[in-house]
C-alpha cells in the first residue's frame, strides 16, 4: 500500500470526519501539492448534500481549490521546481493533506501572500474573470450589476470590474455587507432586504451592460428588466431555484439580451489552461502588487470544517472562508 493520505470525508448525513486513503499518484501532466490551506466553496456544501458531484473520474473528496507547495512533479522538465509555493483550482480532492493538480493549472503564490491568502484567490477570481471577461466580454466604463456582492465571487468581481473603471452596483443582504462592498470599490450597494433592485434601477434610470447572477429563479425576469441593450446576463448558480416562470421573451428580443449559464468545475482541462493563462496575463501583476486581494472573512483549523460550512449555509460570510490544513 502507498503512503497514507489524511482527508475530510462526509457521510449520508452530511457529517464530516477524518479518514485515510492512499496518496494520489500523478501522471506526466500532473503534480502533487502538499496542501497548507483550502478555500471553502458552496460547491463543497452542495456536493456533500448530493447535489453537485465531481466530474466523472475525478476525486470524490471535497474541495476545489488549494494552496501549498509542490512535493512531486510528473514531468521533470517542467519550469516548476519542488518546493515552489503555488495555488490552483482542482476538480476535487483539496480537503486533504495532498492533492494532485494539472501542472498547467498552477499559479505561483506571490511572495507577499500567505497560504491562506493564496487559497482565497483561485476559484473566485477565475470564476469572476471567466464570467466578466471570457463570457460577457466586459469593456472599460461598462455598468455592472453583481448579485451577492459580498460573496467570494462577488468580492473578486467587484475588484476586477473596478480595475478597468467600470461602474459597479451590487446587491447584498445587510448594511454590513454593503459597507464591505463599497470599501472594495462598489459604487452602489443595494440591500435587497430594504430596497428592490429593479425599482432602484428604474428610479435612477440605470441599466446594466453585464449582470452576474447566482440567484436565478425569479431573478431571471428581473435581470432582464434592468439589462441594457445588447447586455449580458451570466448565471453561475441557482440559489433562488432552478426554474424561472413566465420569462418575458419579448423584452429579451427588444433588448437583444445575451443570457449565459456557466460553471467552471466541469470545464475541460484545456479550457481551464487557456483561462488561467489569460488571467495571469491580465491580472497576475495586480496580485503581486496587492491591487487585487482575496477577501478573507474567517480562517479555521481543518478539523473545524463543519463550522465553516455552517457559516456559508447561513450566508454570514463576507468573502472567503479558509481551512488551514495541519
One domain for residues 271 and 302: yes
C-alpha distances (whole Å) from 243 to each of 55, 197, 234, 237, 238 are: 23, 20, 16, 12, 9
Q: What is the mean pLDDT of residues 160-167?
A: 98
Average pLDDT, the chain: 95
Burial environment of residue 9 by CB neighbours within 10 A (0 to 12, 13 to 18, 19 or more): middle
Boundary (domain end) residue, out of 261, 288, 307: 261
Query: Does 28 score more than 90 pLDDT?
Result: yes
Say if residue 108 is in the same domain as residue 214.
Answer: no
pLDDT at 2 exceeding the cut of 70:
no
**Cross-strand pairs, 169:** 145, 188
Question: How many domains does the chain divide into?
Answer: 2
Kindly report the number of other CB atoms within 10 A of residue 276's CB atom: 21
Phi, psi of 243 (to 5 degrees): -110, 140
Residues 89 and 214 in one domain: no
Task: Dig out the grid coordinates for 316 from the structure.
Answer: 454570514
* pLDDT > 70: percent of the chain: 99
274 pLDDT above the threshold of 60: yes
Domain that holds residue 178: 127-261
**45-63, pLDDT tens digit by residue?**
999 999 999 999 999 999 9
Residue 114 to residue 121: CA distance in whole angstroms: 11
* CB proximity list for 250: less than 8 A, separation 6 or greater: none
Domain stops at, among 241, 261, 281:
261
Please check the confidence at residue 168 and state whether its pLDDT lies above 80: yes
**Which is nearest to 90 in space by CA: 71, 126, 114, 66?**
66
Q: Nine-digit cell at 221? A: 425576469
Which residues, 6 or more positions from 90, have their beta carbon under 8 angstroms from its beta carbon? Answer: 59, 63, 64, 65, 66, 99, 100, 101, 105
Residue-level pLDDT at 98:
97
**Per-residue model confidence (pLDDT) at position 240:** 86
- 93-145 residue pLDDT tens: 999 999 999 999 999 999 999 999 999 999 999 999 999 999 999 999 999 99
pLDDT digits (tens, 9 = 90+) for 200-249: 999 999 999 999 999 988 999 999 999 999 999 999 988 888 888 889 99
90 and 16 together in one domain: yes
Q: What is the CATH number of the domain that holds 83?
A: 3.90.180.10
CA distance 182 to 274: 32
pLDDT at 326: 85
Is residue 312's pLDDT more than 80? yes
* Mean pLDDT for the stretch of residues 305-323: 97
pLDDT of residue 317: 97
Do 37 and 101 lie in one domain? The reply is yes
Question: Residues 189, 205: one domain?
Answer: yes
> Does residue 1 carry a pLDDT above 70?
no
- 252 pLDDT band, cuts 50/70/90, is very high
Domain identity same for 50 and 142: no
Same domain, residue pair 131 and 257: yes
**What's the rounded Cα separation, in Å, for the pair 64 and 304?**
18
| 75 vs 184: CA distance, rounded Å | 40
Amino acid at each position: 500500500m502507498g503512503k497514507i493520505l489524511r482527508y475530510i470525508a462526509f457521510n449520508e448525513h452530511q457529517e464530516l470526519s477524518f479518514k485515510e486513503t492512499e496518496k494520489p499518484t500523478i501522471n506526466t501532466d500532473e503534480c502533487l501539492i502538499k496542501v497548507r490551506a483550502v478555500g471553502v466553496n458552496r460547491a463543497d456544501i452542495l456536493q456533500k448534500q448530493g447535489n453537485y458531484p465531481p466530474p466523472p473520474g475525478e476525486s470524490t473528496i471535497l474541495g476545489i481549490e488549494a494552496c501549498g507547495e509542490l512535493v512531486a512533479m510528473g514531468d521533470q522538465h517542467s519550469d516548476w521546481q519542488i518546493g515552489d509555493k503555488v495555488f490552483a483550482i482542482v476538480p476535487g480532492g483539496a480537503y486533504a493533506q495532498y492533492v494532485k493538480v494539472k501542472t498547467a493549472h498552477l499559479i505561483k503564490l506571490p511572495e507577499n501572500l500567505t497560504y491562506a491568502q493564496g487559497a482565497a484567490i483561485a476559484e473566485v477570481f477565475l470564476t469572476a474573470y471567466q464570467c466578466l471577461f471570457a463570457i460577457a466580454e466586459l469593456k472599460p466604463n461598462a455598468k455592472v450589476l453583481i448579485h451577492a456582492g459580498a460573496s467570494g465571487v462577488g468580492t473578486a468581481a467587484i475588484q476586477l470590474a473596478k480595475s478597468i473603471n467600470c461602474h459597479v452596483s451590487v446587491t447584498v443582504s445587510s448594511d454590513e455587507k454593503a459597507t464591505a462592498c463599497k470599501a472594495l470599490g462598489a459604487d452602489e450597494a443595494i440591500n435587497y432586504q430594504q430596497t428592490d433592485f429593479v425599482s432602484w434601477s428604474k428610479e435612477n434610470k440605470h441599466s446594466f451592460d453585464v449582470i452576474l447572477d447566482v440567484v436565478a429563479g425569479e431573478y431571471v425576469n428581473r435581470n432582464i428588466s434592468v439589462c441594457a441593450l445588447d447586455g449580458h446576463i451570466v448565471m453561475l448558480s441557482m440559489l433562488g431555484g432552478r426554474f424561472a416562470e413566465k420569462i418575458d421573451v419579448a423584452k429579451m428580443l427588444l433588448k437583444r439580451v445575451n443570457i449565459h449559464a456557466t460553471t467552471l468545475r466541469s470545464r475541460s482541462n484545456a479550457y481551464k489552461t487557456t483561462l488561467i493563462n489569460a488571467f495571469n496575463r491580465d491580472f497576475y501583476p495586480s496580485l503581486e502588487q496587492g491591487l487585487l486581494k482575496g477577501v478573507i472573512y474567517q480562517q479555521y483549523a481543518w478539523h473545524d470544517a463543519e463550522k465553516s460550512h455552517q457559516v456559508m449555509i447561513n450566508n454570514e460570510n463576507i468573502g472567503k472562508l479558509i481551512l488551514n490544513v495541519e
